[in-house]
Structure 1
């Protein structure tokens, strides 16, 4: 495709998304980072969660090593799933880093495409009309995010959670935004294919 090194699986995913006659003008993979916005929140929430779960198990066992000569008390074992959940949340930065290698951003002559991997793959297409409200969030080294939109959901407690999507973690956020703005300016050239 272009002079970018991506895995065969990502290359196949891009090829399967392209429409007949659609040409790729830009491909980039996100920079691998351990601490993204999502993984940082999960990591810091996991610290007190896991410590409390361990403290609860210790308290349930009487703050002593269990003595199996007098029988076995199952009550402290109820804390183990909470410790495991805490350990999973503590590993969120590792998963964020690994998922960067399973993700790719593509700009074609018709649309922008994000393919974000992980436990499941999410593919989003952004046509020129979808790019009107995008904005850039940049770090001091020029890397950053070009945010195209946000999803909002409520959890079981009714708390609102917003998740940004777009070209996240790119090496040169301004150059990526400029390319997307060129695509956005071609609104009438290709009609949206929703079928």
Structure 2
């Protein structure tokens, strides 16, 4: 375990909480932190003695020590990133890495951001799907959303959106999120995928 000191908390829409920690822990994209009581904290950014986590739900009242857990990503070029609410933070972390995804698909019940029309064409998806994540688009990464009650988002499940995106276009698929999300995508995608389980 590494000592950790909270440097601040920020509440975001959709029940997400961003926590800044000062710690010597040095997670890599895909890894997460665990607290002394075993609570998992998905990592959004790390460097220079600070780690930022984005938690989709209840958060611990105080964080004083953390450990690094999980497997680090080793993505291939032009990989397709798939994430649920628990996988959003590690997706943002990976997006700032040396090999960012070529396309990111997010399945959320509520978003911690205001979706906006995408700047990027995605010929593998229907043209009317333009709802995108600004945090990814600002980094030059095309994104699309499976988000209930949003007119420009996918109306079905995240797994169905992924199946549509890869139909006839094989590419490396990495799923960041809860085990149930990973299993749902594995059930509809022909070919290998990499699952990166996240707490949440």
TM-score range for the pair, normalised by the shorter chain length: under 0.3
Q: Which has the larger radius of gyration?
A: 1
Q: TM (normalized to structure 2)?
A: 0.22
In terms of fraction of residues, the more strand-rich structure is 2
